[in-house]
Chain A
């Protein structure tokens, strides 16, 4: 079975059961829009789907191999963008991305880095320490990873935060292209996705007391 498949996931945080026996399946070309109120466990679920957190019970399988096993090459095919931008404020956008690309074994020439940052509307800000960029600009730098690493699956936690209208439509168009090319996306957002993002499925998480 290809794609990402989560089965019977149970997550307990602070002795509270966030969700129990949750299963979901994401296949090629899918855009899964995860919805739910604050505190429902969306971020916890995403972190389990990336392998950053261990579920209390259940398993997550990607292309037939459990992501928690040692012979999984899941991380090569994944880009995860969480709430935090993963940008060190003392380094510039180019430096941050250069180091990140080295860590993820993404071979990229500096010229390409500048091109991508250009696409994201950050001309002239590439070499400034990230702490001088606005929240929206920092979000754009963080998002540029989606352009830099070729990955099948994108797991994105509220990627639209702090983005202006142009940024939102840029990202949504990227979603549509990625899924059309056979990629998979799991994302959360507090604003509804527009039709520019292409076809998507929703999954609702409820708040359990």
Chain B
């Protein structure tokens, strides 16, 4: 039994699959994911779909915030841009979903890059506020651009179809989401082995040093905004076609906050962290709802208070996590794993 991995070459260290076991487990997990819809009921598949959709967005935000160090409070609105563009193209213009999806991604990327321009001069908190403004401005546009977005009444969107096969049930839609999630994770994981990805990390760690080493800060920050918004635009488009009706209420600042919570709880600057964080944040309200149902049955008098407190528990969980687990779930997972690896002879 080896007591650790000791790499002797750089190539070995950069490998995605560090050991054969990792590869084997991942393969088994993939098979499980493809078998998932045949094993479980609609409720679980629905949650899996939502997790998948938001995971794509969370990956996008993590690329921008976790890896490049640019805080964004506008990703809820960017998600809305993707959703409405895809909805408009596929429903009003009548093009197929498979064309609308990439267009939505690229359009959102363009919008994200425009709102990323202030990052040339702004850092940290100022940039966070600029993206907060993006959130409100885009919200306003969505509500008032009635001919395209349907205003506050919302927009009906078709379910995607392929040669007459309509992806209109949870189970069918699952496979679209799954394939896009796998593509998104693979791209993100590989991105940080390229020059662009390493430039992002250098900018996050110390942007002055990065600039001195010849990294064009503005260019890479804008690229980061673009990639990040592309992801979240795709997530928005998927969500639109999954819900089949979208209203401005779906893309408020609460979504932006939820995205931030996902990547912070999961772990900033970690692909795995985005996954854990998304699963946690999507399942938390479901668990709370189930608990409040139980409380409701035994204490009917408190129903109204329980409803209000659910929101509060959400905040409380975030606070507790940040105070006691500031590095996120991914880090906790790593420490647990390394503890058991050498158990019972840990030091």
A binds B: no
Interface set of B (CB-CB < 8 Å, partner A): none
